[in-house]
Structure 1
């Protein structure tokens, strides 16, 4: 458990109580893994005067108690039941039953739903947002976290190799390749995917978040494959662009994106502004005349969530620190023709970064 890290955040902010709402952060602090991207809030960690209470739906009561043992009290809530460690009422009512309203309270506001925020703010006298502090807390990975991310990377590597082989088969569709990739990740030990696998052929590759379809790959088409495994609740993220056949235009754009990525990776080290990494990649693409076709940020942090702190973007004020894990993923997307993206997951060090590659970068 890492509750001592929450103690540090609270000490810095002068807090007596905190409410953590992110499933990923709750897992990070307690080991209880209710991690979901569903809208709304279902779980919370209330931490007052050094005493933690994990609040979960009644259906999660037994599993939560098994996960955290006797080190953390588990309080479940239900709209219909009441009993031993079962609070009859809503999540917000269960939370406020464990708070001291006159104390200074820190709340994970960014990870609250709008309905939660509106209801919660009327039940306490005042609170401060500690979302950024919690995000920074999780960004610097411990050794065991790095090993889990590497394992997720090894699984992703196996899946990427399958993808690179299968796109050479005549008649194969995006959906079929994505299915084989997903099956490989499961077979290799992933409990889930970090995000829905993206496989995009030809003109579909100009859509950065394309959903695999029944489109068949043609000769001289490129294929963008963006995938990542989740292993023991830690994520990986990798993109490769492959080609079936030969196209001078695709190769030309590919080399520009590759150069942008390599130069950006060379800037990654402790103390560097995240925005400078983005700027390095963007300048290469702009000099080549394709600046307007690079439509997203250069990267993001990776960990329990596939997108987390820091942001590798033009507007980012984040500073890279040793043992942060980030992606570098420039791209060029030309609507109606094709898109190219190359992405690696990278460990920040004091000097040369560690690139966790999944397969060769070259077509």
Structure 2
């Protein structure tokens, strides 16, 4: 497993004696395991530590597996807790690197009581995950193809009229599964008219109104990797709606032009924001311009005005400016993009049409 070598690099860079990885996205990244558990790297030995109910699936990974249960139920079961397994595997080592971003407060305090010197390696893990290899890019592109099929279905249903947000979301979700998605990257967002002014609206029974926006924000998950796309469909748009759509589109296109290896993520955000501010709608752009996409639909790098991230070749990010006028309507347009040394590769899902 070549990514275990990357984990060894984290151990060396952090000055840790051993490293513990606990989050499911990180377990999938390093050893292709989807489930509850932890990975312990210590003295050149890699061990998956899982609750007994995960043992059979964990064994398929091909690593040494230690399963635990409150009492011994099989010859291979460790009698005790996860922490007692760690205590045995760490064998007296004290400088332990842990991905603390994914620890809840209870687990963190348990670790603190067990280990004297914890080193947070979360940023190093996220840094490695942020630059994709060829396999990861191909999985994300496949998730994009599935998302594209679903987006086209969503557009057709909206344009047909006399359909509710819930109905459109249902058609979209069904299409993604039919096209091969294992899951949705996030719950599908379908928002009509005034509901579109809420960026994370939950689909309701509201029926589409001609001339008002229909925001559709969806993403498929394929072989562990996510996609993210938003389109705003507006058949026969009202004048104000058309005007704001064109502002958001211009904002997005100018920001996409800034996406390249070596660019500051904050400058991509500010490029999008300045277009909207110049048009007088700055206070209605109420979220960051984008984010990384991979095993999680929101991950490093973060494309915001406070971000310190520098874009690198083969990172995958979104650019998704929006304008949201409370109780009236909102517009958002989003693409998932592969960072290159030159012109970015935009993974579009459907035309950006009024």
TM-score, length-scaled by structure 1: 0.95
Q: CA deviation at 1:82?
A: 4.1
The RMSD of aligned alpha carbons is 1.1
Match of 1:38 in 2: none
Match of 2:15 in 1: 14
Match of 2:39 in 1: 45
Against the structure 1 CA distance between its residues 5 and 166, is the aligned structure 2 distance closer, same or farther, given a 3 Å change threshold? same
- 1:296-346 deviation digits (Å, cap 9, x = unpaired): 000000001100111101111111000000000000000110000000000
Answer whether contact 1:303 1:325 (CA < 8 A) is retained.
Answer: yes
Say if 2:53 is the partner of 1:59: yes
Matches within 5 A, 1:43-192: 43-66=37-60, 68-69=61-62, 72-192=63-183
Q: CA deviation at 1:11?
A: 1.2
Q: Distance in 1 between matches of 2:183 and 2:54?
A: 20
Q: Distance in 2 between matches of 1:191 and 1:182?
A: 11
Match of 1:321 in 2: 312
- 1:118-159 deviation digits (Å, cap 9, x = unpaired): 111111111110000000011110001100000000000000
Answer whether contact 2:190 2:203 (CA < 8 A) is retained.
Answer: yes
Q: Distance in 2 between matches of 1:239 and 1:294?
A: 15
Matches within 5 A, 1:281-360: 281-360=272-351
Match of 1:29 in 2: 30
Answer whether contact 2:17 2:93 (CA < 8 A) is retained.
Answer: no
Q: CA deviation at 1:274?
A: 0.6
TM-score, length-scaled by structure 2: 0.97
Answer whether contact 2:266 2:308 (CA < 8 A) is retained.
Answer: yes
Q: Distance in 2 between matches of 1:216 and 1:96?
A: 58
**Which 5+ residue runs of structure 1 have no aligned equivalent?**
35-41
Q: Distance in 1 between matches of 2:220 and 2:39?
A: 27
Answer whether contact 1:64 1:74 (CA < 8 A) is retained.
Answer: yes
Alignment length, in residue pairs?
A: 353
Answer whether contact 1:77 1:89 (CA < 8 A) is retained.
Answer: yes
Answer whether contact 1:101 1:124 (CA < 8 A) is retained.
Answer: no
Against the structure 1 CA distance between its residues 314 and 100, is the aligned structure 2 distance closer, same or farther, given a 3 Å change threshold? farther
Q: CA deviation at 1:92?
A: 2.6
Find runs of 4+ consecutive structure 1 residues off by over 3 angstroms: 80-85, 100-103
Q: CA deviation at 1:60?
A: 1.1
From 196, 215, 219, give the equivalent of 1:228: 219
Mean alpha-carbon deviation: is it higher for 82-91 or for 171-180?
Answer: 82-91
Say if 2:213 is the partner of 1:212: no
Answer whether contact 1:166 1:177 (CA < 8 A) is retained.
Answer: yes
Q: CA deviation at 1:247?
A: 1.1
Q: CA deviation at 1:16?
A: 1.6
Answer whether contact 1:218 1:244 (CA < 8 A) is retained.
Answer: no
- 1:260-316 deviation digits (Å, cap 9, x = unpaired): 100000001111111011010001000000000000000000001100111101111
